[in-house]
Chain A
Amino acid sequence: MRKLLLATTAVALTAGFASAEDIKIGVILGFTGPLEAITPAMGDGAELAIAEVNASGALLGGSTVSPVRADSTCIDAGAATAAAERLITSDGVKGIMGADCSGVTGAILSNVALPNGMVMISPSATSPGLSTAEDNGLFFRTAPSDARQGVVMTEVLLEEGINEVAVSYVNNDYGKGLADAFQAAYEAAGGTITINAAHEDLKADYSAEVGALAAAGGERLVVAGYVDGGGSGVVRAAIDSGAFDTFHFPDGMISAKLVENFGSDLDGSSGQVPGTNSDGAGIFAKLAGDSFDATSPFAAESYDAAALIMLAMQSAGSSDPSVYKDHVISVSNAPGLKVQPGQLGLALQALAAGVAVDYQGASAVELIGPGESAGNYRQIGFEDGAEVTVKFR
Chain B
Amino acid sequence: MCANRFWGDRDDEILNAIVVLSNYVLIPAVAYGSQLALGALGVTLIYGILRFSNFAHGDTMAFGAMATILVTWLFQSWGISLGPLPTALLAIPFGIMATAALLLTTDRLVYRFYRQKKAPPVILVIVSMGVMFVMNGLVRFIIGPNDQRFADGERFIISAREFKKMTGLSEGLAFKTTQGITIVTAIIVVMTLFWFLNRTRTGKSMRAFSDNEDLALLSGINPDRVVMVTWIIVAALAATAGALYGLDKSFKPFTYLQLLLPIFAAAVVGGLGNPVGAIAGGFVIAFSEILITYPLKRVLKYLLPENLEPSTLVQLLSTDYKFAVSFTILIIVLLFRPTGLFKGKSV
Which residues of A line the B interface, CB within 8 A?
Answer: 195, 197-198, 200, 202-205, 207-212, 214-217, 233, 240-242
Contact = CB atoms under 8 A, between A and B. Distances in A.
Contact of A197 (B24, B159, B318): B318
B249 interface: yes
Contact of B293 (A195, A202, A208, A216): A208
Interface centre among B161, B249, B296, by most chain A C-beta atoms within 10 angstroms, is B249
Interface residues of B, number: 39
B319 A212 contact: yes
B174 interface: yes
Contacts of A207: 24, 28
Nearest to A194: B313
Nearest to A207: B28
Nearest to B164: A242
A215 B174 contact: no
B67 to A, nearest CB: 18
Contacts of B156: 240
Interface in B254-286: 254-255, 258
Given A195-B313, A211-B293, A242-B164, 6 more contacts: A202-B254, A205-B250, A207-B28, A216-B313, A242-B159, A242-B173
B228 to A, nearest CB: 32
Nearest to B176: A240
A107 to B, nearest CB: 26
Given A197-B319, A200-B320, A204-B252, A211 B24 contact: yes
Contact of A242 (B23, B252, B258, B318): B23
A214 B319 contact: no
B189 interface: no
B209 interface: no
Interface of B: 23-25, 28, 32, 155-156, 159-161, 163-164, 172-174, 176, 245, 249-252, 254-255, 258, 289-290, 293-299, 313, 315, 318-320, 322
Report whether over half of chain A's contact residues are helix, strand or loop; otherwise say mixed.
helix
Contacts of B172: 241-242
A241 B23 contact: yes
24 contacts: A195-B313, A198-B320, A203-B255, A203-B258, A204-B245, A204-B250, A204-B255, A207-B28, A208-B28, A208-B290, A211-B28, A211-B294, A212-B294, A212-B295, A212-B313, A214-B24, A214-B298, A215-B24, A215-B295, A216-B295, A216-B313, A233-B250, A241-B160, A241-B174
B181 to A, nearest CB: 15
A212 B251 CA distance: 23
A205 B159 contact: no
B105 to A, nearest CB: 27
Contact of A209 (B249, B251, B255, B319): B319
Interface centre among B255, B294, B296, B319, by most chain A C-beta atoms within 10 angstroms, is B319
Given A204-B249, A240-B176, A242-B160, A215 B319 contact: no
Nearest to B298: A215
A233 B251 CA distance: 12
B161 A242 contact: yes
Contacts of B32: 205
Contact of A216 (B28, B254, B297): B297
B23 A215 contact: no
A310 to B, nearest CB: 40
A340 to B, nearest CB: 40
